Amino acid sequence: MILTDTLKAVRQLSDPRFQRVLWTGLGLTLALLAAFSAAFLWGLNWLLPDSVRLPWIGPVTWLDDIASGASLLGLVFLSGLMMVPVASAFTSLFLDDVTDAVEDRHYPHLPPAPRLSIPDALRDGLGFLGVLVLANLAAFAAYLLLPPFAPLIFYALNGFLLGREYFQLIAARRLGREGAAALRKRHAARIWLAGCLMAVPLTIPIVNLLVPLLGAATFTHLYHRLPGSASSG
């Protein structure tokens, strides 16, 4: 059934509302990363001297070029690493649009759900970004200590995080935060498995940028199938 939910989400990717959320989220993400990169490189050039005088050698002017090149490579790697979490945070600002599109097509009998206010959406999006980044940074220690199990740790951890956050955000629209948390605890194993399925595309370049859309749509379907949801009574 979880695979069925995901397939329904994939088939709706061409929906204009999905596309609008995708390109808006990516545009905001690229703008933020570009601004951060420009500020970082400007600060680096400001801090590094044009030349350094070494004993017995004299002035050396290429150290700043090496430092700038190494920093640029590190910045490219960091930007690639942060692309999906930041895109997820921005996409969560428009989560209502994705969920409304799914419910309009598949659950038209339901009344419209209250939309998140902009402050609440910002708080949830930034909170999700912070938890996702900090948890994965902390997991690097486990990856180094247990390299053969690194993929399993990655999928288990991100499956838990994605399942928890997406389900909570979607269920809270109709049940409130406390009701969503109670429903999530009753179906924790199923939600975790769905999150693990969503974590698989995180390891596929380009495809991983679709995870926020697929996650929101998949967990909307999952929510409506669970006993105790608004549609199941």
Label residue 93 by pLDDT band (50, 70, 90).
Answer: confident
Mean pLDDT, rounded, for 66-91: 60
Residue 73: its pLDDT value, please?
Answer: 62
Residue 176, by phi and psi: left (phi above 0), alpha (psi -120 to 50) or beta?
left
Q: What is the dihedral of CA 186, 132, 135, 167, to 10 degrees?
A: 0
Sequence-ordered list of residues with C-beta below 8 angstroms from that of 212, at least 6 positions apart, any chain: 25, 87, 88, 91, 92
| Dist CA 216 CA 91 (whole Å) | 9
Note the pLDDT tens digit of each residue in 112-171. Answer: 888 777 777 777 777 777 777 788 778 877 888 888 888 898 889 888 888 888 898 899
Residue 55: its pLDDT value, please?
Answer: 55
Running DSSP on this structure, what letter comes out for residue 49?
A: -
223 or 127, which is more confident: 223
Label residue 189 by pLDDT band (50, 70, 90).
Answer: very high
Integer angstrom CA distances of residue 147 from 46, 154, 200 = 39, 11, 18
Label residue 192 by pLDDT band (50, 70, 90).
Answer: very high
Note the pLDDT tens digit of each residue in 6-26. Answer: 999 999 999 999 999 888 877
73 or 100, which is more confident: 100
- For the chain, the domains span 2-14+84-225
- This prediction's pTM: 0.77
Q: Match 């005088």 to its residue by tokens.
A: 53
